[in-house]
Every structure is written in C-alpha cells, then in structure tokens.
Amino acid sequence: MEVVSYLVYLIASILFIFGIKKLGSPKTARQGNFLSALAMFLAVVITLFDQRVLTFEYIIIGIVVGSAIGAFMAIKVPMTGMPQMVGLLNGFGGGASALVAFAEYYHILNKTNTLDISTGVTIVLSVLIGAVTFTGSFIAFGKLQGFVTGKVVKYPLQNPINILLLLIVLGLGYYVVANPTSDLILLAVVGISLLLGVLLVLPIGGADMPVAVSLLNSYSGLAASMTGFVLQNNMLIIAGALVGASGIILTLIMCRGMNRSLMNVVLGGWADAGSGGTGEGLVLKVMPNLLTLKN
C-alpha cells in the first residue's frame, strides 16, 4: 500500500507541474486548472488510505465545512474583489500549514517523547512562515476591503522592532529544537509570528497590495513546502515550491512595474515621496461635455 501511495503522490506532483504549464495559455488554462484539481483530489483520496488515518468523523466534518465555505466564497466574490479573495485564501493556506506543523509536533512527541533536530527545525520554520502568512494575509484583506487603513502606516523603530521580533522567534525556535518537550515555547513562537505578520503588512500602502498579496502567495507556498519537510513528503515540497516560485516572480514583476525595490514597497516607502509639480500656469483643455470632442 505504501508503494501505491508513493506512486500516486508522484503522479499528483507531475500533474501539478503540467497543470501550471497549461495555465500558460488562455486556450489550455482551464484544462490546466482541472489537471491541478485532479492532482489534489488524487492526493486527498490516497491519503485517506494511509495507515495513520483511522477515524473519519473529523475528516468528514472538516471537508464538509471547508468545502461549503470555500465554494460559497468562490461563487459570491465579485471580480473586483478578487485580490481580497486571493488574500484570504493565502491566509487560510498559511494557517493550515502552521497548524499541521503544530499537530505533527504533538503527534511525534506523544509517540517518541523526543524530536530530532531536522524535524524540529522544519517544524519551527513551518510554524513561523505559516503564522506570518496567516495574519499578514488577513491584514492585506482588511486593507483591500477597507477594514484596515489603506494608508502607509509608520511608527517609530519599525524596522528594529521587526528584526528584534524575528530574532526572538528564531531564538525561541532554537530553544524548542534543543528542548523538544517545551510546547509552551513553541506556542510563543506562534504568538510572536502572528504579531510579526501583522506588523510586516500594516506599513504597506493600499495601492501596493498587489506586491503584498503576491509575496504572501509565495509565503503560503513556502509554508506548504516546509510542512512537506516535516512530513517528509516530496509531493508537498514540490507543490509548495511551485507556488513559492510563482509568488516570487509575480512579486518581482509588480515591483518592476513600479520601478521600486521590494524593500521600498515592504517598508512603505513611496507614498510620502512629496508632491512634485502642480501644473500651475499650464493650460488644461477641459471638455465640459463630449460634444466638444468634435473638431
């Protein structure tokens, strides 16, 4: 059975790659999306046969609830709201990865009462990236939807605080790897990562959200990849890496479109750049109505 599941995971990985390849042309894009969905379906079905999966009531609840919410969102969202939708979905994906890593942490600990270094490191990274993606995406959603100010938010010591928080997270992560049973410390990693997600996206201006959403898209892929490291599952690593690459490319395209560096966007640089010329003294030809468009 194990061999069969490895093969199915391999087929799914190949289908994901083909799916993205076919997304490269409007003619084949729908087919590509379908191939990718088929890969996901195969991956889910074969996982249900995994020897670890023995009870199904929670699985049924989870899939029914998640499908209902996902389908509702997908059908209802207007096309103008697509950035918000993708923002939210990024957040759910990242959140799921962090939760899976945390669940796996407890599972391994319950079974063996210890955690080897490689697994520990990947769990911490998975939790960190997943949690940052989760809250960061919800702030991005809020900014696009107008719940959170679309303005560039600046506060004193913005960068030192973020760097300090990141160092604290990494320090705590190191502690967890060295002392695997300290689950409260891992919880602190989650908490600070969630805060970090908020602080990283809050300064970014509303019109720079294309960059933020693309970057978070990349993070959600990285988070999935990290979960693949935790589970030692190549399919997750491949699928996550494809998404990570996609998000990074789109992020760079957006930055290039504005001739700005990623740092400039992420640190909320542009919007207070000054007022430039006012155009005073120049002649503006205004059309009071379109009939005057006639020559």
Partner 1 sequence: MILDSAQSVVIVPGYGMAVAQAQHAVRDLTNILEKKNISVRFAIHPVAGRMPGHMNVLLAEAQVSYDKLFALEDINDDFPNVDVALIIGANDVVNPAARHDKNSPIYGMPILNVDYAKTVVVNKRSLNVGYAGIQNELFFYPNTLMFFGSAKEAVNKLVNEIKEL
Partner 2 sequence: MEIHELIMLIYVFALAVFVGFELITKVPPTLHTPLMSGSNAISGITIVGALLSAGLEEFTISTILGLVALIFATINVVGGYLVTDRMLKMFKKK
Residues 162 to 201 in contact with partner 1, rule: CB under 8 A:
none
Site for partner 2 in 265-294 (CB under 8 A): none
Closest CB to partner 2 among residues 85, 153 = 85
Q: Does 96 bind partner 2 (CB under 8 A)?
A: yes
Residues 130-169 as x/- pattern, contact with partner 1 by CB under 8 A: --------------x-------------------------
Residues 95-124 as x/- pattern, contact with partner 1 by CB under 8 A: ------------------------------
Could you say which of 127, 132, 243, 265 contacts partner 2 (CB under 8 A)?
A: 243
CB neighbours of 204 closer than 8 A, spacing ≥ 6? 140, 143, 152, 211, 212, 265, 266, 268
- Whole-number Å distance between alpha carbons of 220 and 263: 20
Q: Which stretch binds partner 2 (CB under 8 A): 84-92, 158-166, 167-175, 269-277?
A: 84-92
- Whole-number Å distance between alpha carbons of 5 and 90: 27
Rg (CA), the chain: 23
Could you say which of 60, 65, 117, 253 contacts partner 1 (CB under 8 A)?
A: 253
Site for partner 2 in 133-152 (CB under 8 A): none
Q: Among residues 103, 101, 110, 113, which one has the least CA distance to residue 193?
A: 101
Please state the separation of Cα 76 from the chain's center in Å: 22
CB neighbours of 88 closer than 8 A, spacing ≥ 6? 73, 137, 138, 141
Rounded to the nearest whole angstrom, what is the least distance from the CB of residue 20 to partner 1 in the complex?
A: 15
Rounded to the nearest whole angstrom, what is the least distance from the CB of residue 50 to partner 2 in the complex?
A: 6
Q: Are 139 and 148 in contact (CB under 8 A)?
A: yes
Site for partner 2 in 193-232 (CB under 8 A): 213-214, 217, 220-221, 223-225, 227-232
Site for partner 1 in 201-220 (CB under 8 A): 205, 207, 209-210, 213-214
CA torsion 264-200-228-70 (nearest 10°) is -110
Rounded to the nearest whole angstrom, what is the least distance from the CB of residue 190 to partner 2 in the complex?
A: 11
Angle at 124 between CA 122 and CA 126, to 5 degrees: 65
- Whole-number Å distance between alpha carbons of 243 and 220: 8
Q: Does 274 bind partner 1 (CB under 8 A)?
A: yes
Please state the separation of Cα 20 from the chain's center in Å: 18
DSSP code of residue 206: G
Could you say which of 145, 162, 234, 264 contacts partner 2 (CB under 8 A)?
A: 234
Residue 193: CB atoms within 10 A of its CB come to 26
Q: Are 122 and 97 in contact (CB under 8 A)?
A: no
Closest CB to partner 1 among residues 110, 275 = 275
- Whole-number Å distance between alpha carbons of 83 and 97: 21
Closest CB to partner 2 among residues 17, 258 = 17
Where do contacts with partner 1 occur on this chain (CB under 8 A)? 26, 79-80, 82-83, 86, 144, 205, 207, 209-210, 213-214, 250, 253-254, 256-260, 270-279, 282-287, 289-291, 293-295
